[in-house]
Amino acid sequence: MNAEKVLFRLEQPHGNGDLYLAWQNGSGNYFATTGVDSSVNIFDRYGQIKERIRLPSLCNGFAWDQDGDILGIIYQSSQLILWDANAEKKQTVDIGLRDILTYMVWAKSAPILAIGTSKGNVSIYNHNTSKRIPVIGKHSKKIICGAWNIENLLALGSEDKTISISNVDGDTLRVVALRSEPVDLQFSEMKLDERVGGENTVSVIVGKRTLYLYNLTDPENPVELAFQQHYGSIVTYKWFGDGYILIGFSGGFFIAISTHIKEVGQELFQIRNHKVNLTDVAVCSAIKKVASCGDNTVKIHDLTNLQETSTVINLSQEIGVDRVAWSSDGQLLAVCTHSGSLNVYVSHMPTLVSVCGARMAILSSLTEVSLFNFSTDKSKLVPVVVQLETEPSFIGVGPYHLAVGLNNRAWIYDLTRSQPYTEDAPLMLKEMQYLGGVTSMKLNAEYAAVLYGGKIQMHMIEQPDVGFEEKESIIFPSDNSAYTITCHFLTTDFLVYGSDMGHIIYFCIEEWANSNQYKHAVGIADIFVDPAGTRLVFIDAKKQCYLFNAVNGDVLTVTDLPSSITGVTWESNISDRNVFIIFDEHDIFTYLYVKFSVYGASVQKLGKTSLVSQQIPLLMYGGEVMCATTGGQLSHITLSTHDSPIFTVTDNDQANLENNFNKQLALHRFSSAWNTCQLLNSQEHWKRLAKKAVVNIELDIAIRVYKVLEDCSMAFAIEDVMDIDDLKLLAGYIAMFLNDFDHAQQWFLKSSRPETALEMRRDLLQWDHALQLAKKMAPEQIPYISREYAQQLEFTGNYSEAFLHYEKGLQDNKLSDHTFICKSGIARTAIRSGNFKHGINVAVELNNSVLYKECAEILESKKQLIEAAIFYEKAQNHERAAMCYIKQKNWQKVGDLLPNITSSKIHLQYAKAKEREGKYEDAAKSYSVAKEFDSVIRLQLDYLNNPEVAVDLVQETKSIEGAKLVAKFFQKLNDYSSAIKFLVLSQCNDEAFELARRHNKLDLYGEILLNTLSADEIKPGDFNSLALYFENERNYLLAGRYWYHSKDYPKAMNHLLRAAKSNSDENEAISTAIDVVASSNDEQLANQLIEFLLGETDGMPKDPKHLFRLYMARKQYKEAAKSALIIANEEQINGNYRNAHDVLFAMYQELRHNGIKVPQEMYSNLMLLHSYILVRLHVRKGDHLKGARMLIRVANNISKFPSHIVPILTSTVIECHRADLRLAAYKYATMLMNPEYRKHIDPKYAKKIEAVVRKPPKPAKDGDKVEDPMELLTPCPFCDAELPETDTFCSNCKTNIPFCIVTGRHIIKQDLTLCPECNFPAILSEFKKMLESQDVCPMCAEKLESRRLVLMEENLLLNVE
């Protein structure tokens, strides 16, 4: 709520008591007061007394006529006093009656005064003619109220409880009787369904409780409205708006009602404005406000929004407030207090403002201007108040001066100097008079520009320096121009003005001449120039708005405008200088001027901000708008488009960040948007920033964003063009990057390189555009473009147009490649268009295989098969040529082409044709090439009598139909075995079974089933009949086998165990039984077989190999390992060392494959057996030392080789002797001399061994102990400790070391490899050396090549328990 400013206070001008006031109508320069001192005082609007009229008695009434020229005064006599405001004189008028005058009222349309008397008589006085019409007996009692309407009907109310309605001559037209005395009679218009017009309703308060409405058009149906009792009595009422009434009640209530016949009496608004009592209500239609007074307050409401109290005036020092009254213009509100004092408030002033740079001037009171100097620190916006000589009608402010004025006079103040003898009052520099009433006045540092009478006078504010007299003053227009200047603006360098003929002219002050001019289609109503003076927004006579850039001459339409424009303000912050606002009474609309972008210059509307009523935006800085309020104060509004004025975003809230980001983009604040994007970190927001930046040619920021988006292609493309100085060319490239090719072409054509537009259209394959551009700027390019256009048209199927463009492309002196392409296109499109002869001739002329193929395809599609086939042959496409010949049944040509054809389809068609001709050999060959093997088999059997070829073909191709044909052929020859086989191959198993049963060949049938068919093709049901047959024949082995294949495992086991009891079938039956257990995974069957193998059923244990096989089949590897050890030991005892080796190796691999630890015993036995096998390898190569070392390892475990103790020891002695290991040879020779071994020594070695024993190694001369040469030491692969190379246990780290499968020594980590077949370790160098003489692995006996051996890493560990 605002507090109204006190203009002045009159302290009890008529003494202590009631005070009455009447404002002058019209200008409102005077008001009259009266009170208990029997006088009438007349004051001006500033509270200065102009006249005091003494009365013989108390004043009974006073009122101003409708123009405010005459004040009428009556008192307790029969005399009328009139005071003329213009002449400031009073006169006394005799009205022709001798009664005491009690009431007076002026007519609304003429200076006619009706005066009522205490006896009910009336006199009507016309001031213009001085005519008096006394009317006797109008009422029987005192006349106490009355009113005129605009049609000069007079209504009077009297204490006789009647209302009389008379004409201007006093003739009574109607009398209305009331139930009580009338008070406050008024004329107005009541709302009806059909508008009658005129003031047709008399309203009056009756008995202080009801409101009586009497409609002159419907006199029979008056309306009397009563109100709620707690409201109190009716104090007063006022009509407003379209038939609405405001009523004040003594209880402080204040209500609004409608007089529409359907709403009459209905309360539209109700409020208790005053706690104790309400004393008066005043309405001002000029400013659409209503004031109510009561207690010691005055409350003001806006008639357009009664719900809100806009202003409250507290007179806390007063006992009470009796009356309120508005001046006619609503600027001043007079308040009469209970004690007889008068306060006059400035409630509404003309909003006079002026802005120059950061300085703002606002009319803050009738004769007072407040000056503000804007700074970003709003707390420092303290006004400097300047008191004026008079109430101004215009003001203007400059950097150093203030100008105020009225009519044709202006007073200029120097704001830099003070008035003598004052501290802060600015110096009044001069008073100026102009040749007409001043409309507006603008100032800069040196000049004042004054608009009056359609002209501008620009003059220096202070006396010019010497030499500048010619620039002291100038009047525009300087010549006898026909136009009238309507608006102007003064900047530091320019005077800018607009005319009613559409001129906008820039006058350069320094040059003292016009510098720029723009002519608009219609008159200019107003201009608003930006702080730099280079751009302005203007409004024309049609209320259209435009932006004019004086630098480049751009004129842009501002769209989406408010319905009415109050003003325009430009942004003062240099970083946002392209932003401006347009405002009306209720809203501010923000716009952005885009000076240059890919889409050209434009003005974009950014948003709308609500404006508090009666505020005028003066200055905008960074989205903060400084507004002038009605009280002459400043307020600031933050635009909704600038909610974060500086955009220093610290809040990570997603919604706030997104909102700020959107506003930053709209305002083109790209640096701020970059910071916000970093917080949002969203691909979508980065992309929007990139698009906006690149569209507005902010290339540095665009490149940075595209790098964040990892869109390298766009970033590099922009970097490539950003150094281009020609802005239009640059804009063209950017538009092209954005795929806006039409805009790109427009920019290119305006640029310094218009040919770029042609290059772009060619690159885009937009040949229509390219041809149009080429005709204008590059005619030499037309043939090439025509060729490329023709290629595109041909591709899209528009062959006739393509043909024409290919012909256009054929011109002399063009490159051979270009000519060839055009002629090729002519050949193709001519054929497609039906001009076969021309197209074929051109193709033959060019003689190109690719073109032949293309034309052949087109000819084939056009059913021109002969020509197509010929062209296919020329193109070496024999298959397509053959297809064309086939369609023509030209088999001779097809046959000629067959050697060059691989197509099965063609060979098949040819074969069928040859078969029909009876040429079976040719047919068979083509059927074979076409892989139609059934037909080949049929021809070989039926016509060519080559059954061997047919049989081989069936076995090779597995053809079912072919097998049936062969089976039938053999059945005819009574070769039932072959017939059965081919019936099985043809999946005719039932027929094969019957044939085998008839000819007693079921065992053959079973073998064929098992051996011929794959696992996927075997069906268990096929074996049921076989199993039953052999079961009946008591052939338990075959019955068990076929029950097994039919997956009936219990029956299979029973029959196989019965078969195993016969020694002849034992091994085969047990082997099959093991397969049954493995396939069935049945514990019961497994236990049954184990019991049989252990001899629990018949007391005869079976060969352990069977148990080993069973464990392996059941994947019981630990048990299998134990069995393997037992088997290997038996084989070893029996001297079958290779068998034992293979059993252990196989078990070792199986355990390792399944991730099971290998038992140490198995590993040791395998190493011993492998060492023994290596002896022969080393001896054969002549490496006796390695052989001796391996034999020593075996001899040390000789008990595990009982069958060959003597031969092994003999070999050990011999090899040790050869390797010069004398002590070892002597040791083992001594063992052989034991009686149990000596007799078994081979005679040919006996003497040699005895000689070794007889001649033991002699001690050295120094008496040292006799020893063999020391074995070579190599490092342990685990701990690097040195140990003999054949030791496989490291005593230092207590680790078993893997042995080399080539040498038998322990492995060396620096020279390590694995056999690629068995994954056993070996010394790489030794393995490669061994493979030079043999190509198999000594462990797994698989073939190897040395290139497959690779050096392995060190971390190789044994998988041994």
109 phi and psi angles, rounded to 5 deg:
-120, 0
Burial (CB count within 10 angstroms: exposed 0-12, middle 13-18, buried 19+), residue 254: buried
Q: Are 556 and 543 in contact (CB under 8 A)?
A: no
Query: What is the rounded distance in angstroms from the CA atom of residue 539 to the CA atom of residue 895?
Result: 92
For tokens 């006898």, what's the residue?
480
1047 phi and psi angles, rounded to 5 deg:
70, 25
Task: Render the burial of 284-306: b for 16+ CB within 10 Å, e for the rest.
Answer: beebbbbbbbbbbbbbbbbbeeb
Query: What is the rounded distance in angstroms from the CA atom of residue 1197 to the CA atom of residue 977?
Result: 58
For tokens 């309020």, what's the residue?
629
- List the alpha helices (DSSP H) in 862-903: 865-874, 878-887, 891-897
Instruction: Dihedral sign for Cα 1113, 1118, 1121, 1126, please.
Output: negative
289 phi and psi angles, rounded to 5 deg:
-135, 155
Q: Are 971 and 979 in contact (CB under 8 A)?
A: yes
Query: What is the rounded distance in angstroms from the CA atom of residue 687 to the CA atom of residue 1090?
Result: 77
Provide the pLDDT for residue 523: 94
Query: What is the rounded distance in angstroms from the CA atom of residue 934 to the CA atom of residue 153?
Result: 126
Count Cβ atoms below 10 Å from residue 1116 Cβ, excluding itself.
14
Instruction: Dihedral sign for Cα 778, 783, 786, 792, please.
Output: negative
Provide the pLDDT for residue 971: 61
Query: What is the rounded distance in angstroms from the CA atom of residue 1107 to the CA atom of residue 8?
Result: 131
Return the DSSP state at 666.
H
Return the DSSP state at 479.
S
The most distant pair of C-alpha atoms in the chain lies apart, rounded to whole Å, by 193
Burial (CB count within 10 angstroms: exposed 0-12, middle 13-18, buried 19+), residue 1254: exposed
| Global pTM value | 0.58
Closest CA to 310 of 9, 588, 614: 614
DSSP calls for 619-630:
EEETTEEEEE-T
Cis peptide before 477 (omega within 30 of 0): yes
When computed from its CA atoms, the radius of gyration of the chain, rounded to whole angstroms, is: 63
User: How far is C-alpha 1320 from the geometric centre of its chain's CA atoms?
Assistant: 62
The identity of residue 1267, as a single letter, is E
For tokens 């005491």, what's the residue?
100
The identity of residue 251, as a single letter, is G
The identity of residue 1070, as a single letter, is I
Provide the pLDDT for residue 956: 64
Report helix angle 976-985 to 989-998, nearest 10.
Answer: 160
Contacts of 289 (CB under 8 A, 6+ apart): 283, 300, 301, 302, 303, 310, 326, 330, 347, 348
H or E element: which one contains 146?
strand 143-148
Query: What is the rounded distance in angstroms from the CA atom of residue 368 to the CA atom of residue 387?
Result: 5
Provide the pLDDT for residue 1031: 65
Q: Are 661 and 641 in contact (CB under 8 A)?
A: no
Provide the pLDDT for residue 602: 92
**Low-confidence residues of the chain, pLDDT below 50?**
1, 645-649, 651, 1356-1361
Q: Are 123 and 135 in contact (CB under 8 A)?
A: yes
User: How far is C-alpha 1221 from the geometric centre of its chain's CA atoms?
Assistant: 89
Provide the pLDDT for residue 682: 87
Q: For 763, what's the count of Cα atoms within 13 Å in the CB-facing half-sphere? A: 11
Query: What is the rounded distance in angstroms from the CA atom of residue 359 to the CA atom of residue 551?
Result: 26
Mean pLDDT of the chain: 82
Contacts of 797 (CB under 8 A, 6+ apart): none
Q: Are 36 and 356 in contact (CB under 8 A)?
A: no
Return the DSSP state at 445.
S
Structure tokens at 650: 């610290």
For tokens 């160098």, what's the residue?
1325
The identity of residue 938, as a single letter, is R
Report helix angle 1036-1045 to 1002-1012, nearest 10.
Answer: 40
Provide the pLDDT for residue 205: 96
Provide the pLDDT for residue 973: 59
Provide the pLDDT for residue 259: 86
Query: What is the rounded distance in angstroms from the CA atom of residue 20 to the CA atom of residue 72?
Result: 14
Q: Please report, in angstroms and rounded to a whole number, the separation of the first and last CA atoms in the chain.
A: 99
The helix/strand/coil state of 43 is: strand
Tens digits of residue pLDDT in 1284-1327:
988 989 999 988 899 999 999 999 988 899 999 898 999 999 98
Report helix angle 960-972 to 933-942, nearest 10.
Answer: 10
H or E element: which one contains 608?
strand 602-610
